[in-house]
């Protein structure tokens, strides 16, 4: 296979889905060690790409502007001109949406690989792989690359926390009187959907159990979670919320164990090499459990419902991970 000089990778959103392209990005770099790799992503997630060591450049798309009738046309024209002017030799579309298929085609790249969800989009690619929902998303990205002729064995899932982000995390640790040398449980209780949230009172019970045994507890969350996290503060637990993505990754890296629901932030923690227990509602094939660590998932198998997963079960899993 001739080696492309310039490669464009596309995955616009969301946090977890972008993080789950890491093994695919590593595989692309392994196959094309000298290529210049650019990643096209939403503007709101673009700062996360600083932790992708195999990426040379980022194109940030303002999707909010693209949805604004007054701003969409000039923003779109500017983006398409940029894509065409870069003269990419290979475009890899991990997203597979109509808009990303159009971007891949308009780039003019002689090779365009994509994940195909609908027959109407397959025309945009020189090689389209039909999406198989029985694959974990990270595994599917690798399978798509394999079908396109790349070597994808021995996958790597590694995000590098930049030194500045790690220093900012250490500062937040200090502000909350947390000692990085002591066992710490980081809890991310909220996800993007209410039905994926294990009850907060159960997380608080787990936190109380470990606090009574000398483990430091810190809760995290996004800006929208701050009101709900007031209840956590009232019970005397440290809360570090609404921090930038890579600073949050640094906080998780400083912690001993991460616990939470099916959320992109947990996938981010896993990519830093941190042990993370994920409470996940679904038991179906293709679910987004911790990549390469299925045994870190806690699902409702054997219980009446997701909410019925006992506190004692989660405490037991934490005990195994904390080695206490």
Pairwise pLDDT comparison (89 vs 63), residue with the higher score: 89
Cβ proximity of 253 and 159 under 8 Å: no
Cα 112 to chain center, whole Å? 24
For the stretch 93-108, pLDDT in tens is 999 999 999 999 999 9
Both structure tokens of 261: 């629901």
Q: What is the distance between the alpha carbons of residues 169 and 93, in angstroms, rounded to a whole number?
A: 33
Cβ proximity of 130 and 116 under 8 Å: yes
For the stretch 278-289, pLDDT in tens is 999 987 888 999
137 contact partners, CB below 8 Å, separation of at least 6: 17, 20, 286, 288
For the stretch 114-169, pLDDT in tens is 999 888 899 999 999 999 999 999 999 999 999 999 999 999 999 999 999 999 99
Q: What is the distance between the alpha carbons of residues 234 and 317, in angstroms, rounded to a whole number?
A: 26
Rg (CA), the chain: 21
**Sheet of 257-261, strands arranged across:** 238-241, 216-221, 184-188, 257-261, 276-279, 297-298
Cβ proximity of 182 and 216 under 8 Å: yes
8-15: average pLDDT: 96
Cβ proximity of 159 and 51 under 8 Å: yes
Instruction: Count CA atoms within 13 Å of residue 33 on its CB side.
Output: 1
Question: Is pLDDT of 291 > 80?
Answer: yes
For the stretch 233-266, pLDDT in tens is 999 999 999 999 999 999 999 999 999 999 999 9
Mean pLDDT rounded to a whole number for the chain: 95
Instruction: Work out the pLDDT band at 27, boundaries 50, 70, 90.
Output: very high
247 contact partners, CB below 8 Å, separation of at least 6: 165, 168, 169, 172
Cβ proximity of 185 and 259 under 8 Å: yes
181 contact partners, CB below 8 Å, separation of at least 6: none
Question: Is pLDDT of 70 > 90?
Answer: no
**Residue 323 confidence (pLDDT):** 83
For the stretch 172-188, pLDDT in tens is 999 999 999 999 999 99
Nearest in space to 186 (alpha carbons), one of 167, 207, 202: 207
| Domains along the sequence of the chain with CATH | 6-147 (3.40.50.2000), 164-322 (3.40.50.2000)
């Amino acid at each position: 296979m001739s080696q492309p000089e310039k490669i464009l990778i596309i995955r616009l959103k969301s946090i977890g889905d972008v993080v789950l392209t890491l093994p695919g990005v590593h595989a692309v770099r392994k196959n094309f060690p000298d290529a210049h790799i650019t990643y096209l992503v939403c503007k709101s997630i673009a700062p996360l790409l600083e932790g992708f060591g195999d990426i040379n450049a980022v194109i940030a798309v303002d999707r909010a502007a693209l949805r604004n009738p007054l701003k969409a046309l000039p923003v779109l024209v500017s983006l398409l001109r940029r894509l065409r002017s870069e003269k990419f030799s290979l475009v890899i579309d991990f997203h597979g949406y109509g808009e990303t298929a159009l971007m891949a085609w308009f780039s003019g790249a002689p090779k365009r690989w994509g994940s195909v969800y609908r027959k109407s989009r397959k025309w945009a690619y020189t090689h389209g792989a039909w999406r198989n929902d029985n694959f974990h998303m990270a595994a599917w990205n690798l399978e798509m690359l394999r079908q396109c002729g790349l070597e994808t064995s021995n996958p790597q899932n590694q995000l590098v926390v930049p030194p500045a982000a790690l220093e900012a995390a250490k500062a937040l640790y200090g502000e909350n009187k947390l000692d990085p040398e002591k066992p710490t449980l980081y809890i991310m209780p909220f996800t993007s959907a209410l039905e994926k949230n294990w009850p907060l009172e159960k997380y608080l019970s787990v936190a109380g159990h470990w606090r009574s045994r000398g483990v430091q507890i810190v809760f995290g969350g996004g800006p929208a979670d701050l009101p709900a996290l007031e209840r956590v503060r009232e019970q005397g637990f440290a809360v570090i919320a609404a921090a930038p993505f890579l600073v949050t990754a640094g906080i998780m890296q400083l912690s001993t164990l991460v616990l939470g629901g099916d959320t992109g932030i947990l996938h981010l923690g896993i990519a830093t090499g941190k042990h993370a227990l994920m409470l996940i509602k679904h038991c179906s094939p293709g679910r987004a459990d911790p990549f390469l660590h299925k045994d870190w998932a806690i699902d409702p198998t054997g219980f009446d419902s997701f909410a019925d997963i006992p506190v004692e079960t989660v405490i037991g899993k934490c005990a195994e991970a904390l080695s206490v």
